[in-house]
Structures are given as C-alpha cells and as structure tokens.
Amino acid sequence: MEVYSEKQQITATLKALRAENKTIGLVPTMGALHEGHLQLVKTALLENDNVVVSIFVNPTQFDNKEDLEKYPRTFENDMALLKDISETRILIYAPTVEDMYEGDLKSQKFDFDGLEFEMEGKFRAGHFDGVGTIVKRFFEIIQPNNAYFGEKDFQQLAIIKKMVEKHDIPVNIVPCAIFRETSGLAMSSRNVRLKPEYQKAAPFIYETLTTAKIKFGTESANDVTQWVEKQFSSQKLLKLEYFIIADSETLKTVENKVKSKKYRAFIAVYADDIRLIDNIALN
Ligand code: PAF
C-alpha cells in the first residue's frame, strides 16, 4: 500500500492510473479511523478501481486550538486498518500542512447560499470555510470520479454538494449512512476520548433522537424541540448545545410542517469537553 506525502508524487501516480482508464474514488478523512470510515472506504472500493484515502488534520477548520491539539492522531493504526481492507487498491495521501497550504495557512471565503450560517455555522466560526478550502484542494489534486462523505456530518455534506455545484467541480458526491456503535452512539474519531462514565451516558443522544422522530409524527417541531431540551436539562453529564428540526434541503429551522418537505433533526452535545454531533431523518 503506497503512502504519499507530496502532491507531485500522488498526482503522477494518479495520472498513470487515469491513462489506463482506471476510476478513482476519494475518501477524505482526518485519520483516527473507525468502522464508519472503513465503511466509506469499502463502498468506494466497490464503485471505483482505486481509492485514495486522505489523512490530514486540517488546522483551518478548527475554531478551537485545544480541540485541534487534542484531535486523536493514530497513523500507524490507520495504516494497519486500511491494509486489512486492500493492500493494492488503496493509496494513502497524508500530506503535510506545508504541502496543502504552501505557507499560507488561511481559508478561502465561500458563499454556500446560506447553508453555512445554520447550526454548526453558528457555533463554529470559520469552520465551513476551512472544510471547503481543504476539500476543494483535495478535489483539485486527486481529481476523483467519486468522493465519499458520511451523513453524520450532514451539514458538511450539504455544503460540499453546494461547493461542487457552484464551482462546477467534476466529481460525484456519494453520501453514506451514519455508522453507529452497538449502543447507538454515532461513530466519531472523538469517541475514543470519552471517559468511561461519558461513554455510558452518550448513547442517550441517539435514544433521544429516535424518540423525537416518533413524536414528530404527531407533534409540532416546536413541541418536540421543547421535549428534547427538557430531557437534556436533567442530564448530569451531557450538555445540550442545540437541538434543531430543519428542512433537509435548506437546513433552516422548521416553523410549520409541510407534508411535501423532508425534515431532519440535528443535535450537538458536550460530553465533558468533547463535542458530539448526530442527526436523524424524520420523514
Ligand atoms: O469530515 C472530516 O473528517 C473533515 O471535515 C474532512 C472532510 C476530511 C475535511 O478535513
């Protein structure tokens, strides 16, 4: 399994693969791979001849320095996990910050038609400009046919689709369902940092989302939101940052339900100093 750290090397290899008409899938990650990432890689391998897995902890998408410093880095383990899936068809691209930013550690400013101002955008200043900058750079370097993103970061997925559309980037974006622990907790690289008591408490997030979904069948968005807020107010270990029921397309908070629209519930919770997000389709 080849590991590349410089764009000149990987672009040369990819050029040769494209000359042989091979299709290329991209799974962008920040490493600390878990089963959710591996599912993206397996799906990408089914749909492409070769798959590039990028491993890069992108500084410009962190609004919090401590979160960036504490972000788990498990490169050796990541390599072993990928090697178990395919030794021949996966290319790992693990660039340096210098290789990606060339001395100019700044994000590009994007207009995602307002998607960037909802939910995560309200709580993580500059986050989506950082994500857009790095993903666009990966698309330029790798030029994948298909790129795979998990629905756990549903807003990120919507923003990337918007970027591809607005910037005319020739790549097919493939959304992949959320992968969960047996407890229901959405898989995240941050989960390994949860202390045992928080690990025990965190499945409450998905439990609450599933009940909220049932309630949404008969109750208003506002009543369901108030119910969720009440459930979290009696939780000692979990601090609710937001719970929002939004239109799946515009990501705008729902005032009145309309039958023809698709809705989703989104949640962000602090477990100790670890921020966990999750979401669920409601109809
Ligand atoms: O979802 C992530 O892990 C990151 O936001 C991504 C897409 C790899 C960009 O750094």
Regarding whether 88 and 65 lie in a shared domain, the answer is yes
In a domain, 168, yes or no: yes
Q: Does one domain contain both 213 and 109? A: no
Residue nearest to atom 1 of ligand 1 (CA): 29
Domain boundary among 129, 155, 176: 176
Task: Say if ligand 1 is within 6 A of residue 194 CB.
Answer: no
135 lines ligand 1 (CB under 6 A): yes
The DSSP element (H or E) to which 28 belongs, if any, is strand 24-29
Q: Which of 153, 157, 179, 279 to mutate to test the pocket of ligand 1 (most atoms within 8 A of CB)?
A: 153
Question: Is residue 280 lining ligand 1, measured as CB closer than 6 Å?
Answer: no
Examine residue 181 and state whether it is found in any structural domain, yes or no. Answer: no
Same domain, 26 and 162: yes
Q: Is the CB of 58 under 6 A from ligand 1?
A: yes
Q: In terms of domains, do 120 and 30 share one?
A: yes
> Would you please indicate which residues are annotated as catalytic (active-site) residues?
37
Note whether 127 and 196 are same-domain residues: no
CATH number at residue 49: 3.40.50.620
What domain range is 73 assigned to?
A: 2-176
Query: Residues 231-248: what's their mean pLDDT?
Result: 98
Q: What pLDDT, in 10s, does the model give residues 49-101?
A: 999 999 999 999 999 899 999 999 999 999 999 999 999 999 999 999 999 99
What predicted TM-score, i.e. pTM, was given to this entire model? 0.96
CATH of the domain at 211: 3.30.1300.10
Which contacts (CB < 8 Å, 24+ apart) does range 136-139 have?
136/108, 136/163, 136/167, 136/169, 137/100, 138/26, 138/28, 138/54, 138/93, 139/26, 139/164, 139/169, 139/171
Is there a single domain that holds both residue 47 and residue 83?
A: yes
Domain boundary among 120, 148, 176: 176
Pocket test for ligand 1, best of 58, 120, 127 (most atoms within 8 A of CB): 58
**Domain shared by 27 and 50, yes or no:** yes
Q: What is the pLDDT of residues 168-216, one digit of tens each?
A: 999 999 999 999 999 999 999 999 999 999 999 999 999 999 999 999 9
Flag whether 184 is in a domain. Answer: no
The first and second tokens of residue 277, run together, are 């997000």
160 and 119 fall within a common domain: yes
